[in-house]
Amino acid sequence: MPALKYSRQRESIKRFLMSRFDHPTADTIYLHVRQEFPNISLGTVYRNLALLTELGEIIKITTDGPDRFDGHTEPHSHFFCRKCHSLLDIHLEDEAAIDRQAQEAFPGIIEGHSVQYFGICSKCAK
């Protein structure tokens, strides 16, 4: 792993992700960071998202459609609205209980989990 060097673009991407709870796509992030760095390219956004994910500073969430990114790394779950495609946080009381259940049932080494609930969000239900 090469030595990490500071970059204003990466900082901006991370700051943006930490400020939000709706898990934007690379493209949304691109459009935002562009306001601060009009010349930034999508490739740079993707490169930094991959790097931050590898460092564990953000989380990459794979869904139907483009990947989503999350600047909040405490273990938590997600809700995907199948109508408006919003992706929202769910903080369970005992998130670790989910791993414990599976560890009993499975012989491999479980390092973590990701739960994705799906349904209709309260906005769309109206």
Partner DNA sequence: GTGGGTGCAAATACTTTGCAACCGA
Partner DNA sequence: TCGGTTGCAAAGTATTTGCACCCAC
Residues in contact with a second copy, shown as a per-residue x/- string from 22 to 61 under the rule CB under 8 A: --------------------------------------x-
Helix (H, G, I), strand (E, B) or coil at 59: strand
For residues 16 and 23, give the distance between their C-alpha atoms in angstroms, rounded to a whole number. 10
Q: Which of 27, 96, 115, 124 binds DNA (CB under 7 A)?
A: 27
Question: Applying CB under 8 A, which of residues 63, 66, 74, 96 lies at the interface with a second copy?
Answer: 63
Tell me if 89 sits within 8 A of 75, measured CB to CB. no
Candidate list 31, 55, 92, 96; residue touching a second copy; CB under 8 A: 92
Amino acid symbol at 91: H
Residue numbers at the binding site for a second copy (CB under 8 A): 60, 62-64, 77, 79, 81-82, 88, 90-94, 97-99, 101-102, 104-122, 125
